[in-house]
Structure 1
Amino acid sequence: MCEKRIGTELGMLGNLLKRQMVCTTGKDELANITGMQAMILWFLMQAKEARFQRDVETHFRIRRSTATGILNLMEDHGLLRREPVEQDRRLKRLVLTDRAKALYERIHQAMAQTEALMEEGIDPEDLAVWFRVCEKIRANLENYQCKASEGQG
């Protein structure tokens, strides 16, 4: 009998989620937006205050180089622009373009539809347990990452 592994299950869920988002968004303009770009777009649309690259890095727990690459692509595709902040010209506020705002509702609908599909038939208590377990797994991985990087001077 095959032993179940958390990493394997998460990888398979990630692949299925990506495929489902492609099915949900279709083959039009949304098809060129990756799942991560859609999540960043959603994150920026929800913001009540200015957001910066470091906010994206922290929220999505991604490295600076990863965030830079994704945000550069989003800028190249006309989804956002970086505007200097008056108090500190080195800081660049992330501002969504009109194109991104126009796509937002469709992205929001696709994400809501996919969330509903994933939750289908799952007891809310089971879902709450799943989120608690995910938080613990995330904390375990983050704690290890910190310890591992400390030793690598």
Structure 2
Amino acid sequence: MVSETRRVGKAIASLGNVIKRHKPLQVEGKFCKTTRMQRWIIGYLYEDGAKRSALQKEIEDAFSITRSTASTILGLMETRGLIRRESAPFDARQKVISLTQDAIDMCDQIAGHIERLEKKMIEGISDEELDVFFDVLQRIEQNLTNDSPDAACTGLAEERNL
């Protein structure tokens, strides 16, 4: 039995809440109604200022979310003027997702805040400790997604975090 003080899921959820409440990540104005997942997707498309496009399938894979979850999230983002969804030139069934100028402007404003938060989170942590941290996170994710009976719950948990 796992000790109440050593519950991995609780620790990860708690850390997620601390990150979510961190002042520099709080967005003002038009974008205050975006969810954390929407901001992560915007950041993924904006990555390093590249302002790139991606297929919806790439976003699903990058965030380990189901097609229906991605479709719901991206639909809301399109309604709010954050992204454009267009048919891929090579296959009309696939959607190419790209940022609108409003979303790019938002990214320009908060990119520095995110960088400062990342630096703050790893203060006093060595590269070796970070390597172990990321290895453990990857193994936890594999444990939860490797054909286990509970793997089906993963998409449901993501949908609740909209």
TM-score calculated relative to the size of structure 1: 0.84
Give the fraction of aligned pairs with identical amino acids, expressed as a percent: 36
What one-letter code is carried by the residue in structure 1 that aligns with 2:37? M
1:33 aligned partner: 34
What one-letter code is carried by the residue in structure 2 that aligns with 1:28? E
1:43, CA displacement in angstroms? 1.1
**Does residue 58 in structure 1 map to residue 61 in structure 2?**
yes
Between Structure 1 and Structure 2, how many residues are aligned?
147
Judge which range, 114-123 or 4-13, deviates more.
114-123
Question: Contact 1:38–1:107 at 8 Å: present in 2 too?
Answer: no
1:45 aligned partner: 46
What one-letter code is carried by the residue in structure 1 that aligns with 2:103? A
1:94 aligned partner: 97
1:124, CA displacement in angstroms? 2.1
Q: Can you list the C-alpha shifts for 1:78-126, whole angstroms capped at 9, x where unaligned?
A: 0101111222222221021111111112232222121111111222221
Give the 3-state SS of the residue equivalent to 1:120 in structure 2.
coil
Q: Can you list the C-alpha shifts for 1:115-140, whole angstroms capped at 9, x where unaligned?
A: 11111122222111111111111111
> 1:1-150 to 2 correspondence within 5 Å?
2-20=4-22, 23-26=23-26, 28-29=28-29, 30-46=31-47, 50-143=53-146, 146-148=147-149
Q: Can you list the C-alpha shifts for 1:5-53, whole angstroms capped at 9, x where unaligned?
A: 1111001011111111xx1144522422322112111211236864111
Question: Contact 1:37–1:70 at 8 Å: present in 2 too?
Answer: yes
Question: Contact 1:25–1:107 at 8 Å: present in 2 too?
Answer: yes
Question: Contact 1:25–1:31 at 8 Å: present in 2 too?
Answer: no
- Measure the CA separation in 1 of the matches of 2:52 and 2:82: 18
Give the 3-state SS of the residue equivalent to 1:78 in structure 2.
coil
Question: Contact 1:51–1:93 at 8 Å: present in 2 too?
Answer: yes
Question: Contact 2:52–2:98 at 8 Å: present in 1 too?
Answer: no
- Measure the CA separation in 2 of the matches of 1:57 and 1:27: 24
- Measure the CA separation in 1 of the matches of 2:8 and 2:150: 23
TM-score calculated relative to the size of structure 2: 0.80
Judge which range, 63-72 or 130-139, deviates more.
63-72
